[in-house]
Amino acid sequence: MARNPSNEQGLPVNPGGTLDPSHVVGRDELITELWARLQRQSLVITSERRLGKTSIIKKMSAAAPTDILAFYRDVEGLNSPVQFVECIAQDIEQTLRQNRTASEGFRNLFKSLGGIEIGGVIRLPEAAQAHWQDALGMLFTELHTRNPDKTFVFFWDEVPWMLQKIHRQQGEEQAIALLDGLRQHRQSFPRLRMVYTGSIGLHHVVSTLQNTGYINEPVNDMYTVDLQPLTQEKATELARRLMRGKGISGADLAATALSVATLSDGLPFVIHHLVDGMAHGSLADPQRVPTLLDALLVDDHNRLDLQHYDTRLDAYYGKERAGLAREILDLLARHDAPVSISEVLNGLPSLLHSGDRPALQSEALRTLMRLLQRDHYLHQLPGTSTLQFRFPMMQRWWTLYRGLP
Ligand X SMILES: Nc1ncnc2c1ncn2[C@@H]1O[C@H](COP(=O)(O)OP(=O)(O)O)[C@@H](O)[C@H]1O
∠ Cα 29 32 36 (to 5°):
140
Contact 54/161 with Cβ under 8 angstroms?
A: no
Q: Closest CB to ligand X among 140 and 154? A: 154
Nearest one of 330, 312, 304 to 375, comparing CA atoms: 312
Among 10, 30, 31, 49, binds ligand X (CB under 6 A): 49
Distance, in Å, from the CA atom of 315 to the CA atom of 53, rounded to the nearest integer, reads: 23
- Dihedral sign computed on CA atoms, order 72, 75, 136, 43: positive
The count of residues interacting with ligand X (CB under 6 A) is 22
Task: Give the binding range for Mg ion (CB under 5 A) out of 46-54, 60-68, 138-146, 288-296.
Answer: 46-54
Position 241 contacts ligand X (CB under 6 A): no
Decide: is 183 part of the binding site for ligand X (CB under 6 A): no
Confirm or reject binding of residue 54 to ligand X (CB under 6 A).
yes
240 lies in the site for ligand X, by CB under 6 A:
no
Least distance in angstroms from the C-beta of 56 to ligand X? 7
Residue 27 or 53: the one with the smaller Cβ distance to Mg ion is 53
Q: What is the contact mask toward ligand X in residues 1 to 30, using x (rule: CB under 6 A)?
A: -------------xxxx-x----xxxx---
The 8 Å CB, 24+ separation contacts for 379-388 are 381/338, 384/338, 384/340, 385/340, 385/341, 385/342, 386/338, 386/339, 386/340, 386/341, 387/332, 387/338, 387/339, 387/340, 387/341, 387/344, 388/332, 388/335, 388/337, 388/338, 388/339
Nearest distance in Å: CB 53, Mg ion: 5
260 in contact with ligand X (CB under 6 A): no
CB 37 within 8 A of CB 215: no
Q: How far is the CB of 230 from Mg ion (least distance, A)?
A: 16
Cα angle 228, 269, 30; round to 5: 35
What is the footprint of ligand X within residues 184-213 (CB under 6 A)?
Answer: 199
- Asked if 84 is part of the footprint of ligand X (rule: CB under 6 A), the reply reads no
Give me the least distance between CB of 200 and Mg ion, in Å please.
11
Under 8 Å CB-to-CB from 62, ≥6 apart: which residues?
21
Total binding residues for Mg ion by CB under 5 A? 2
| 50 vs 183 by CB, closer to ligand X | 50
Say how far apart CA 286 and CA 211 lie, in whole Å.
51
61 is a site residue for Mg ion (CB under 5 A): no
Per-residue CA distances from 245 to 9, 41, 272 (Å): 8, 39, 11
**Planar angle of CA 238, 196, 133, nearest 5 degrees:** 155
Environment class of residue 253 by beta-carbon count within 10 Å: exposed (0-12), middle (13-18) or buried (19+)? Answer: buried
| Binds 303: which of Mg ion, ligand X, none (CB < 5-8 Å by kind) | none
Q: Is 236 in the site for Mg ion (CB under 5 A)?
A: no
Half-sphere exposure of 39 toward its Cβ, with a 13 Å CA cutoff? 8
CB of 39 or CB of 228, closer to Mg ion: 228
For ligand X, which stretch binds (CB under 6 A), given 52-60, 176-184, 245-253, 382-390? Answer: 52-60
Distance of closest approach, residue 121 Cβ to ligand X, in angstroms: 25
Least distance to Mg ion, CB of residue 59, Å: 12
**3 state DSSP class of 315:** helix
| Contact residue for Mg ion among 54, 83, 264, 388 (CB under 5 A) | 54
236 makes contact with ligand X (CB under 6 A): no
Residue 161 CA to residue 107 CA, distance in Å, equals 29
Smaller CB separation from Mg ion, 44 or 263: 44
Closest separation in Å from C-beta 197 to ligand X: 7
Q: By CB under 6 A, name the binding residues for ligand X.
A: 14-17, 19, 24-27, 47, 49-55, 199, 238, 268-269, 272
Q: By CB under 5 A, name the binding residues for Mg ion.
A: 53-54
